[in-house]
């Protein structure tokens, strides 16, 4: 009976994994599953969205959506909500979607829950607080649609083999919604495997002692092959590495096969972003560092000595 | 230009928060203060008004003790404050918070509203955007660099993979990231002056809101401990650790 919508972010005509994860979950929650995609190339994204369960994709290809922050998209989304009245809209916890969901709430007066990592029904969701040490069930009340922002990687994306009907979105966007203009776009992501999907993540913290020691992690990554390098907020705030390398509560969530934490204390805000990794290795010179509580293999020692040895070891046996 | 700086009082900014039997954060008997996450936004507000003239009004919603957070912001140089405090707001969710704060902000003169990207205790991260929509202004979110330009603002907006440059006219709301500014420390003189600065304390009724307007839209119905991951083997490096790690990586089939 419930109609569940997923807001799908599109970038350069591509839809990212979070929307596909959410659609997979939405199939369990409602009998009507539909997606909304707003931005250039949105209708081209209908393929993967349909394959993951969206019966219809409301697609707006207008460049006005990419060229301005949130307001044009919120207007279009709200028009669709008024017309079709979904019971729930799932968003990924990302910058774009936080902006959208926050503004949409002001228009619908409905509840908005952030940082969910499970959705239990059309009016119930679950979140983890205090660095993932407590699980909290939340009842969502008030008018529909219930708005929920879900942390990426909370669900595995599985195709259902469907096909979506594309419904073009025609929204009139007034000039009053075009105040905040995006005038330039810059990518800072490193080449090679991306943090979000690399099978091995090597993360460095303040224990590396000097920004130039991040080179040691890159060299280790090169020796392993399919590895991406991440960091703690402490070193991002210190300006050692760019923000897009930050793992944790206010950064990205990763779930690689192997996570190697190097010179990282293991603060709860960092742990929420990596504790679901399949295996965790930690190197820290303090035997009482909290990171050892979640590590499958913990090494008490000087990372600056061990990492070059490990790189050497892998190169010579590789 | 006149700026509103949002300042949230949080219990125990550095320690571990606690939850009471009613599933709400324990706010009594804990040493609270201004959310450190708000300091970069307060700093930005001060720098912008120092450049262009005008005043900074601190706006906060919280328990009576939230006056400490307001005074802290005033001690840094903000000019006046508004504190909305009311028993009816205990357990306020994102919707109620945005309703109350936007109503309080509408009573101020502002060209720019500044907030943090997310609060340290709640990390909801959507309240400022909701307020912006209620105010009918754009939300220049996740600003990591801020400049005044041609009577408007130009920011670098953090994205997942890099950044965007965004330009906007005023009035607007902006959320400020941790690295955007370097917060100053209060001086003794500032702390003394803060005590004399005007702070208006308001209730829900003073804002013209009814109890229905501040009814939470979500309810915690259960809290459990999350499953804990078990610690594994811990070894002391005696020169052989690198070899052990290499073996582990081979067992995991990633090399
Ligand atoms: C609202 C909020 C959100 C946050 N979000 C995040 C987030 O998203 N991600 C995040 O990571 N953090 C986040 N934090 C910060 C978090 O609380 C910690 O401060 C941070 O994770 C610590 O980083 P670190 O482990 O690099 O530094 P530290 O805690 O300083 O740890 C450094 C470690 O290195 C070890 N060490 C030193 N020298 C060596 C050596 N030679 N060899 C081996 N080990 C060595 C030390 O023993 C120590 O354990 C957040 C905090 C707040 C308040
Ligand atoms: N009760 C409050 N009083 C003042 N400012 C607040 C309050 N709640 C939220 N804010 C502001 O909005 C930001 C984001 O809050 P949140 O969405 O709750 O994570 C905070 O960091 C503050 O700048």
pLDDT at B16 over 70: no
pLDDT at A100: 98
Residue whose Cα lies nearest atom 7 of ligand 2: it is: B8
**Nearest residue to A52 via CA among A88, A16, A85, A81:** A16
- The residues, ordered by sequence, that sit 6+ positions from A210 with a Cβ below 8 Å of its Cβ are none
Can you name the residues that pair with B235 across neighbouring β-strands? A299
Share of chain A above pLDDT 90, in %: 87
d(CA A284, CA A286): 5
How many percent of chain A have pLDDT more than 70? Answer: 100
Mark yes or no for CB contact B219/A113 under 8 Å. Answer: no
Across chain A, what does the average pLDDT equal?
A: 95
CA distances (Å), B222 to each of A135, B18, B101, B219, B225, in order?
Answer: 8, 15, 28, 9, 10
Phi, psi of A99 (to 5 degrees): -60, -45
A chain contacts of residue B118, beta-carbon cutoff 8 Å: 250
Higher-pLDDT residue of B91, A264: A264
CA-A205 nearest atom, ligand 1: 26
* pLDDT at A147 (0 to 100): 98
Cβ of A117 below 6 Å from ligand 1: no
Nearest-5° angle of CA A113, CA A117, CA A121? 70
pLDDT at A318 over 90: no
Tell me the mean pLDDT in the region A170-177. Answer: 94
The per-residue pLDDT for B13 is 66
Give the dihedral of Cα atoms B172, B177, B182, B184; nearest 10 deg. Answer: 60
Report ipTM for this prediction.
0.91
Average pLDDT of every residue of chain B: 93
Match 């929420």 to its residue by tokens: A272
Q: Is A72 in the pocket of ligand 1 (CB under 6 A)?
A: no
- Mean pLDDT (whole number) for A193-221: 95
pLDDT in tens, B191-224: 999 999 999 999 999 999 999 999 999 999 999 9
As a whole number, mean pLDDT of residues A183-202 equals 89
How close is the Cα of A267 to the center of ligand 1, in Å? 6
Mutate to test the pocket of ligand 1, among B37, B117, B234 (most ligand atoms within 8 A of CB): B37
Q: Ligand 1 in contact with A206 (CB < 6 A)?
A: yes
B-chain CB neighbours of A225 within 8 Å are: 255
Mean pLDDT of A29-47: 96
């Amino acid at each position: 009976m419930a109609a569940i919508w997923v807001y799908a972010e599109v970038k350069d005509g591509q839809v990212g994994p979070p929307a596909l994860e959410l659609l997979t979950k939405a199939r369990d929650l409602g009998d009507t599953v539909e997606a909304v995609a707003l931005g250039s190339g949105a209708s081209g994204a209908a393929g993967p969205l349909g394959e993951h369960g969206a019966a219809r994709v409301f697609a707006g290809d207008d460049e006005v959506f990419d060229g301005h922050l949130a307001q044009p998209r919120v207007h279009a989304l709200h028009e669709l909500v008024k017309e079709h009245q979904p019971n729930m809209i799932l968003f990924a916890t990302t910058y774009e979607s936080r902006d959208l969901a926050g503004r949409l709430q002001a228009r619908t007066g409905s509840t908005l829950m952030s940082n969910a990592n499970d959705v239990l029904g059309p009016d119930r969701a679950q979140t983890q607080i205090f660095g993932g040490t407590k699980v909290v069930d939340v009842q969502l009340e008030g008018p529909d649609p219930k708005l929920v922002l879900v942390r990426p990687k909370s669900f595995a994306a599985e195709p259902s083999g469907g096909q979506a009907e594309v419904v073009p979105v025609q929204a009139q966007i007034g000039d009053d919604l075009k105040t905040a203009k995006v005038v330039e776009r810059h990518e800072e992501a490193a080449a090679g495997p991306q943090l979000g999907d690399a099978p091995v993540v090597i993360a460095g913290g303040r224990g590396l002692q000097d920004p130039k020691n991040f080179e040691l992690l890159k060299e280790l990554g090169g020796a392993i092959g399919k590895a991406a390098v991440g960091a703690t907020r402490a070193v991002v705030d210190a300006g050692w590495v760019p923000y897009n390398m930050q793992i944790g509560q206010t950064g990205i969530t990763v779930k690689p096969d192997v996570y190697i934490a190097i010179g990282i204390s293991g603060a709860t805000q960092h742990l929420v972003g990596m504790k679901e990794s399949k295996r965790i290795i930690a190197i820290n010179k303090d035997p009482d560092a909290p990171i050892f509580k979640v590590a499958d293999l913990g090494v008490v020692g000087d990372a600056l000595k061990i990492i070059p040895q490990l790189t050497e070891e892998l190169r010579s046996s590789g | 230009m006149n700026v509103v700086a949002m300042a949230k009082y949080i219990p125990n900014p550095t320690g571990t928060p606690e939850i009471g039997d009613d599933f709400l954060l324990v706010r009594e008997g804990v040493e609270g203060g201004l959310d450190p996450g708000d300091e970069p936004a307060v700093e930005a507000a001060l720098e912008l008004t120092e450049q262009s003239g005008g005043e900074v009004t601190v706006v906060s919603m919280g328990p009576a003790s939230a006056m400490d957070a307001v005074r802290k912001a005033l001690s840094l140089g903000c000019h006046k404050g508004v504190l909305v405090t009311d028993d009816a707001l205990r357990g306020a969710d994102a919707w109620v918070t945005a309703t109350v704060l936007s109503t309080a902000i509408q009573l101020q003169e502002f060209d720019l509203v500044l907030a943090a990207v997310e609060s340290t205790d709640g990390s909801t991260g959507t309240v400022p955007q909701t307020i912006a929509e209620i105010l009918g202004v754009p939300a220049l979110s996740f600003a990591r660099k801020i400049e005044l330009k041609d009577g408007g603002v130009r920011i670098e907006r953090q994205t997942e993979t890099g950044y965007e440059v965004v330009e906007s006219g005023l009035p607007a709301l902006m959320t400020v990231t941790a690295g955007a500014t370097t917060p100053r420390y209060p001086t003794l003189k500032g702390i003394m002056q803060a005590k004399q600065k005007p702070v208006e304390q308001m209730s829900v009724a003073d804002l013209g809101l009814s109890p229905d307007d501040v009814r939470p839209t979500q309810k915690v119905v259960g809290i459990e401990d999350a499953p804990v991951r078990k610690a594994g083997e811990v070894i002391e490096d005696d020169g052989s650790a690198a070899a052990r790690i290499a073996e582990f990586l081979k067992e995991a089939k990633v090399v």
